[in-house]
Chain A
């Protein structure tokens, strides 16, 4: 529990950028750009876990960092690029449930809400880093959920789901420094599996309908 001020400040900075990338996934139009933002977000998550691992001398957190880099920045983008056809990445999302300025404003409200929710929880957490990681992680979870709601393309929705997952890890890294290895490994296997399944499903939707705007699949129809 050294908690040196420089490590603390660096972690805070990482957290702020982490939140910015989550906002970016909410707001970007291009599918490819949101995938790149997700990769950046995962890198920041890994960096934060690394900082926390160094500060608390926890090997588990270093393992989290390694697993995050291996699965989320390498494996999942690779899977998504190979299961989902390339033309989806070139598309721009024209239609959204909400326009971008109002989604951003709602996102700002969600971030405030995350802080409101996290503040009473902070009293129980012993690690000083939780002050940064817990609210930001919860905010990233909210923003990921909001991404799923607000976007109509399949791949950004998946990225929203993965963003929720990133948020959970970001918050979890600070409050439970010694997460059992089995949980990390399970997540490392689960998440690519989710990405694979949704990727395959998206490919099917794309070949059947010629579009991946899954927001249009609201009602059943006979062709």
Chain B
């Protein structure tokens, strides 16, 4: 029992500690692929460290929402990290609290507070970004529902620990068309949800074109550091859900041995590195879509998830 609690805390610490690194590696790889040198992979750590030591300025016209939002946004992925299989194949102490739908709700809570805070300051760019994020969000919603429906239909459960073992027992399950189609649809959702290239440019600095990133423009000092860190952790956790729950549980610890759990950390990071390579390739080879083309992108994801359900239905 105690070791499960300890592992659970280790799991959260891994998410908190390595999230900026994954973001740094992603941006560095992208620059390298585009024939540039790019910043060090530790740059996000330095940014967060610098921001934490700066003064925080809060507009006097803003309410408590503005001050509370970074903490909520930071807490949401930390809480999610308690629930999902980051390092182990078996449920840890706190995993009973929620299934994958619960994970979705916790994420939605963080996003909701970030949007409210963006509207709160009445900075012209904040509400614009917030409303666009909501637009992408409600377009993505039916796809999420279809994807989760398919997962629960195919794997017989929405609990991530049951879902992940389903794909590899037997191994033929891995090649099931519904599984592969789910992966494609969910990958498109990650791109939309995290503001990656075909939907939004994560490295853009042009406020009028921003979707996801203009929400945190008003923050400075500690608030900005927390928002940045929270963004990195959300990215990290989304990748974890994708590679560990939806792709395969390979590399995760099977036993309760301490060494095995610690060994899972580099293996999971390697899996994430492979995922980031694919992501960087997608981001470098596509152009950002215009705002009203996003419906087409997400519409395609929706149809793919519908096809996943249908192919599954036909096999019975």
The stretch of B58-66, B235-243, B303-311 that contacts the partner chain: B303-311
Contact indicator B296/A27 (Cβ below 8 Å): yes
Question: Does A10 interact with chain B (Cβ within 8 Å)?
Answer: yes
Which B residues contact A (CB, under 8 angstroms)?
Answer: 170, 172-178, 180-181, 184, 295-296, 299-300, 302-304, 306-308, 310-311, 313-315
Contact indicator B300/A12 (Cβ below 8 Å): no
Q: Collect the chain A residues with CB atoms within 8 Å of residue B306's CB.
A: 108, 111-112
Question: Does A45 interact with chain B (Cβ within 8 Å)?
Answer: no
Cα A131 to Cα B177 in complex, Å, equals 13
Out of A16, A104, A111, name the residue touching B300 (CB < 8 Å): A104
| Closest CB pairs A-B (n = 4) | A16-B177, A9-B175, A101-B299, A100-B296
A19-48 residues with Cβ-Cβ distance < 8 A to B are 19-20, 23, 27
Q: Collect the chain A residues with CB atoms within 8 Å of residue B313's CB.
A: 115
Q: Collect the chain B residues with CB atoms within 8 Å of residue A115's CB.
A: 310, 313-314
Q: Collect the chain B residues with CB atoms within 8 Å of residue A108's CB.
A: 302-303, 306-307
Closest residue to A9 on the B side, CB-wise?
Answer: B175
Contact indicator B310/A112 (Cβ below 8 Å): yes
Cα A25 to Cα B299 in complex, Å, equals 15
Cα A112 to Cα B184 in complex, Å, equals 20
Cα A104 to Cα B296 in complex, Å, equals 8
Question: Does A218 interact with chain B (Cβ within 8 Å)?
Answer: no
Q: Collect the chain A residues with CB atoms within 8 Å of residue B175's CB.
A: 6, 9-10, 12-13
Q: Which one of B170, B177, B308 has the greatest number of beta carbons of chain A within 10 Å?
A: B177
Out of B295, B302, B311, name the residue touching A12 (CB < 8 Å): B311
Contact indicator A100/B299 (Cβ below 8 Å): yes
Contact indicator B302/A104 (Cβ below 8 Å): yes
Contact indicator A13/B307 (Cβ below 8 Å): no
Cα A219 to Cα B174 in complex, Å, equals 53
A133-176 residues with Cβ-Cβ distance < 8 A to B are 135-136
Cα A20 to Cα B310 in complex, Å, equals 13
Contact indicator A104/B299 (Cβ below 8 Å): yes
Question: Does A53 interact with chain B (Cβ within 8 Å)?
Answer: no
Cα A104 to Cα B293 in complex, Å, equals 13
Cα A108 to Cα B311 in complex, Å, equals 12
Closest residue to B295 on the A side, CB-wise?
Answer: A101
Contact indicator A16/B299 (Cβ below 8 Å): no
